[in-house]
């Protein structure tokens, strides 16, 4: 069986998942709820990427998930959040190992979200996460500076 190496997006998700699982220690159970929704940029669904919900107070743990075909599912602790989004689209393929003949290929990604959406101190996106599962849609704009 041929296994594909982790792409940049897969690696980011793996790290976010690992950090979310490990947490900050203490051994106490953290209440998280499922948050789902749609994410578009200038009216178009974001192909793939990641979404993170960062505590506005900087204390509660960060939650997040993967964006696929303009939809996301995330596990998030309740509270006021700043929302960060990193959106990508597939623009072709590229060799996994540059300069190596017959190298396997991987998807070549192009970032479609302005950098401000992926910085907690700049993102204009916020959300109030309640104790119950909820759906929150986000409409982003490429013109954000």
Residue 116: domain span? 8-22+30-131
pLDDT digits (tens, 9 = 90+) for 43-77: 999 999 999 999 998 888 899 999 999 999 999 99
pLDDT digits (tens, 9 = 90+) for 1-10: 444 454 554 4
Distance in angstroms between the alpha carbons of the first and the last residue of the chain: 45
Residue 136 has pLDDT above 70, yes or no: yes
Q: What is the number of structural domains in the chain? A: 1
In a domain, 141, yes or no: no
Going from the C-alpha of 123 to that of each of 36, 98, 102, 127, the distances in angstroms are 19, 35, 42, 12
In a domain, 73, yes or no: yes
In a domain, 14, yes or no: yes
pTM of the model: 0.75
């Amino acid at each position: 069986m041929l296994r594909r190496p982790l792409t940049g997006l897969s690696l980011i998700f793996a790290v976010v998942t690992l950090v979310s699982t490990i947490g900050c220690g203490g051994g106490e159970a953290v209440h998280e709820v499922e948050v789902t929704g749609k994410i578009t940029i200038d009216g178009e669904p974001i192909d793939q990427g990641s979404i993170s919900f960062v505590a506005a107070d900087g204390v509660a743990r960060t939650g997040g998930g993967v964006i696929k075909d303009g939809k996301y599912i995330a596990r998030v602790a309740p509270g006021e959040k700043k929302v960060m989004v990193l959106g990508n689209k597939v623009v072709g393929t590229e060799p996994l190992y540059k300069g190596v003949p017959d190298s396997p290929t991987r998807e070549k990604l192009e970032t479609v979200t302005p950098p401000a959406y992926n910085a907690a101190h700049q993102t204009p996106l916020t959300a109030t996460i309640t104790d119950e599962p909820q759906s929150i849609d986000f409409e982003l704009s490429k013109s954000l500076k």
